[in-house]
A = this chain, B = another copy of it.
Amino acid sequence: MSIATRSIATPARAAVIHPAPAQPGRALIGRVIEYARTHGLQAGERFPAERNLAQTLGVSRNALREALATLESLRVVEPRPNSGVYLRALSSESSFEATVLLAGLGTAPDAAEVRETIEVRAALERQAITLACARRTPDDLARLARISADTAAVIAAKGNIADCDQAFHLALANASHNSVLVRMLNAFYCLTLERRRVFFANPKRAQASCIQHDQLIAAIDQRKLPRAIKLIDAHLGNAQVYWKETLA
């Protein structure tokens, strides 16, 4: 990648939040989950005592406890003092962040989960657009326009626009002036970064996405809410079709 390309892509990349670049400790979390699966642990059942589990996994008790602390915060696991560590119901009790984390560990989501994720993302993006139409500031519009220009430049340089795309949608969420919405949508982008990189490897998709982004900016600029909703639904529809195909 040339220096020129990098200098263009950098501002957009800077706005992207990466899901922690593969910390060494993360691997252990995956192994704990794997242990539960391979040993057929059901929701509500207990893990072996920390001392034993640590030995089984070949790590120190400290390292295991750090992993368990993480899993507890994501409601995957529930430690009860003087009793044991219990597995929760992953599909209902655990946090969505747990899905993000497990995806980052290479645990492939199944087709149902992808469908469900897309449905939730659509609801959040619609809300973001709705609020953005009402609250967008000149700064918001300028940022969106700048990211769109960066995107075009990356396309011209035959780069991958996955980061630019994420930056655009993050800026869109920011235009809603709702930080909770930003954080929730960000979780989705972290979850799907790699997939979007594959998606945008196709230049036609990248081009189409860029055009739709510009249309979205115009709709928000003019506060044309119904049109903006229609555009975002169509925009997300692309990804939906793609995922359905790749997982079918």
Contacts and interface: CB of A to CB of B under 8 A. Distances in A.
Interface of A: 17, 19-20, 23-25, 62, 65-67, 69-70, 72-75, 78-79, 81, 91-97, 99, 101, 113, 116-117, 119-120, 122-124, 126-127, 131, 174, 178-184, 186-187
A182 B92 contact: yes
A184 B69 contact: no
B186 A93 contact: yes
Nearest to A74: B73
Contact of A66 (B65, B124, B131, B178): B65
6 contacts: A20-B72, A62-B62, A74-B97, A116-B181, A123-B123, A124-B124
A95 B127 CA distance: 18
A13 to B, nearest CB: 15
Given A99-B180, A113-B180, A116-B181, A24 B67 contact: no
Given A65-B66, A66-B69, A124-B120, A183 B113 contact: no
A105 to B, nearest CB: 12
A186 B92 contact: yes
List 3 A-B pairs, minimum CB-CB distance, nearest first: A123-B127, A66-B69, A70-B73
Nearest to A180: B116
Contact of A69 (B25, B117, B178, B179): B25
B184 A96 contact: yes
Contacts of A23: 72, 79, 81
Nearest to A91: B179
Contacts of A62: 62, 65
A22 B189 CA distance: 31
Nearest to A24: B81
Contacts of A123: 123-124, 126-127, 181
Nearest to A81: B24
